[in-house]
Amino acid sequence: MQAHDPERPSDADLFRQAFRRYAATVVLVTYVDGSGRPAGLTATSMCSLSPSPPSLLVCINRATRAYAEITDRGLYGVNILSVGQRSVALHCSRPGMDKELKPEWLAADSADRPTPRLRGSLAHLECAVGTSYEAYSHHVFLGLIKDVWLNPVQDPPLLYHGGAYGQLESSAELTERFHWELPG
């Protein structure tokens, strides 16, 4: 048997370190909980699946309350967050804390929708769970997209990278950087 090297990071640490280098767009997976309250879970595991049928997937930890609620209802919303929605992402990422969405975060038509839509999101995609798979600690929910709302205002997306929230460089910052990087 190989001797344990105390200096070597664990497999889980290496996994975390590798994914700190991966930049992802932050989404809020929304649902209506068993008491009828709008709630959300901050996630980066969402990705598009197919345009035909329009579909996406999201991986949800089975230890979360969202997992049980989404499984019960068979519905979830995906709100693609903009830079101005960092406080919503923080509110909905703390395990065990109250995940109810504040009324001022919700769109005026949210009560009429099966999944809560946030004001200021870049897009809201309403999904019905098509298929779902157990995968280690998580569950992969394949969602059939039933409705899409697009924000006419296109703010920059909220990103997560290196364990912190961030954003893309603005075109002014890019121009400035290229100016300094050009030789001579």
Ligand X SMILES: Cc1cc2nc3c(=O)[nH]c(=O)nc-3n(C[C@H](O)[C@H](O)[C@H](O)COP(=O)(O)O)c2cc1C
Residues that bind ligand X (CB under 6 A): 26, 41-45, 59-61, 64-66, 92-93, 95-96, 99, 160
**Which CB, 66 or 118, lies closer to ligand X?**
66
**Which CB, 96 or 184, lies closer to ligand X?**
96
Q: Using CB positions, name the residue nearest to ligand X.
A: 45
**Which CB, 20 or 177, lies closer to ligand X?**
20
> CA-to-CA distance for 15 and 87, rounded, in angstroms?
27
C-beta of 9: minimal distance to ligand X in Å? 21
Q: Sort strands 24-25 and 75-80 into parallel, antiparallel or unpaired.
A: unpaired
**Which CB, 133 or 176, lies closer to ligand X?**
133
Q: Please, are residues 21 and 5 in contact by the beta-carbon 8 Å criterion?
A: no
How many CA atoms within 13 Å lie on the side-chain side of 146? 13
Q: Which two tokens stand for residue 77?
A: 């919303």
Provide Rg for the chain, Cα atoms. Answer: 19
Burial class of 125 by CB neighbour count within 10 A (0 to 12, 13 to 18, 19+): buried
C-beta of 151: minimal distance to ligand X in Å? 21
**Which CB, 4 or 21, lies closer to ligand X?**
21
Q: Please, are residues 164 and 20 in contact by the beta-carbon 8 Å criterion?
A: no
| CA 143 centroid distance within chain | 14
C-beta of 153: minimal distance to ligand X in Å? 23
C-beta of 45: minimal distance to ligand X in Å? 3
C-beta of 93: minimal distance to ligand X in Å? 4
> CA-to-CA distance for 108 and 124, rounded, in angstroms?
14
